[in-house]
Amino acid sequence: FSMAHGNRDGRNGMMTNGVLMNGAPPPPITAVREMVFYCFHVVESHFQGIIPAPPPPAVTNESAAVFTGWYNKGHLRGCIGSLVPCPLHENLRDRALDAAFNDSRFPAMEHSELPALTCNVNVLHSFEEARDRYDWVIGTHGLTISFHDHQRPSRTYKATYLT
């Protein structure tokens, strides 16, 4: 995966790009700061009750799976992702709003919090089955776990972790 991280005004931002274990370069879509800025713009527009302006050129219409997280002083404030690729600008918009207002672990974000927040954007790619539970590297791979509840066969649980 690739990640972009930053705050509202772009200070203290960092960017890292994941590389596959086999040394292959990252995909054409990598996370960039403009994606973080767009997430802030979308949430700010929501608070103002207006439609967000179109995304910057770096936020393309190409399909990508994304994961967006909000942090307050380094502590998770909300995060939600989608493993299903769809147009990047739509996915970023929807995940930024979902992470801000629909993460059931946290109350909905308040406008007063916005200046203190940082945002992470992860662009997910190159999904593959692990050979075993040790077939992944912290800092390189994310992990999706799914299992069935044998007591309730119709129940499936899934969790995604980005490292």
Tens-place pLDDT, residues 87-110: 999 999 999 999 999 999 999 999
Pull the structure tokens for residue 138: 């912290």
Whole-Å CA distances, 5 to 2, 23, 116, 133: 10, 23, 14, 28
Mean pLDDT value across residues 25-52: 88
Residue 83 has pLDDT above 80, yes or no: yes
Which of 42, 36, 52 shows the shortest CA–CA distance to 2? Answer: 36
Mean pLDDT value across residues 137-148: 75
Q: What is residue 1's predicted lDDT score, i.e. its pLDDT?
A: 43
3-state helix, strand, coil in the chain (%, to 5): 20, 35, 40
Q: What is residue 19's predicted lDDT score, i.e. its pLDDT?
A: 38
Confidence of residue 28 (pLDDT cuts 50, 70, 90): low
Q: What is residue 7's predicted lDDT score, i.e. its pLDDT?
A: 52
Cα(141)–Cα(96) distance, rounded to whole angstroms?
22
CA quadruple 60, 66, 70, 71: dihedral sign: negative
Residue 145 has pLDDT above 80, yes or no: no
Residue 17 has pLDDT above 70, yes or no: no
Helices (H), 33-141: 33-48, 88-101
Q: CATH topology for 2-128?
A: Glycoprotein, Type 4 Pilin (3.30.700)
Cα(96)–Cα(66) distance, rounded to whole angstroms?
10
Side-by-side strand order, sheet with 63-72? 14-17, 2-7, 117-124, 63-72, 75-87
Q: How does the average pLDDT of the chain come out, rounded? A: 81
110 versus 9: the higher-pLDDT residue is 110
What global pTM score does this model have?
0.75
Mean pLDDT value across residues 77-82: 94
pLDDT cut 70: percent of the chain above it: 82
